[in-house]
Amino acid sequence: MGLPAGKPASYEDLFDLPENMVGEIVNGRLVAHPRPAPKHAWAYSQLGRKVGSPFDDGLGGPGGWWILDEPELHLASGDILVPDLAGWRRERMPRLPETAWFELAPDWVCEILSPSTAKVDRVEKLPIYARHEVRHAWLVDPDLRTLEVLENRDGHWLLLTALENDAAVSQPPFDAISFPLGGLWAD
């Protein structure tokens, strides 16, 4: 989906998308892709439960976070991004906003990679997250059964580790717990 050449995308352009599409404004461009496929949706639902219970709800973990599925981020750069999962430390964001979107960049984002989104997630969205001082990013690939854990160091992403299959996950910013990566894969 595109707009006439030279015209930057606007928030209103997102309203014109069909209901089965997720729209974002990335570097001034309208980027649209279909709603997640089942394996993709399963992975982020499972991951949301694994980190949400101990970090958002405080069940078996330290609490202190808001963990949300597909939050709409309206960043100061004009970018409107929708990560699969995002988390804010409650000390930075004591209450959820009244708006349908978030203007405060999260502390952690997770993108579940698919063939249709991997390039935009890696090449375009990660640098935007880094510029807005998102501290941690996780990239999950359900097809390859991998998790890449990244940390923002002075505006650049550093790969802390890459895990695969059923490896134990105890990684920043959620290293107070451990869970098997294999729980994210729909078999």
CATH number at residue 141: 3.90.1570.10
Please give, one letter per residue, the 3-state secondary structure of 28-46. CEEEEEECCCHHHHHHHHH
At residue 37, the pLDDT reads: 85
Tell how strand 29-34 and strand 65-69 pair up. unpaired
- Kindly state whether residue 60 falls inside one of the protein's structural domains: yes
Q: With 0.75 as the threshold, say if the pTM is over it.
A: yes
At residue 24, the pLDDT reads: 86
- Kindly state whether residue 13 falls inside one of the protein's structural domains: no
Mean pLDDT in order along the chain per 10 residues (187 residues) = 64 88 89 86 94 94 96 95 97 96 98 94 97 98 97 97 98 97 93
At residue 94, the pLDDT reads: 97
Number of domains in the chain: 1
The token pair at 111 is 């993108």
Which residue, chain included where needed, has tokens 């390039």? 119
Q: In terms of residue numbers, what domain contains 176?
A: 36-74+81-184
The token pair at 1 is 């989906």
Q: Which residues contact 13 (CB under 8 A, 6 or more apart)?
A: 3, 23, 25, 30
Closest C-alpha to 138, from 61, 84, 57 = 84
By the 8 A CB rule, do 47 and 140 touch? yes
Distance of CA 175 to the CA centre of its chain: 18
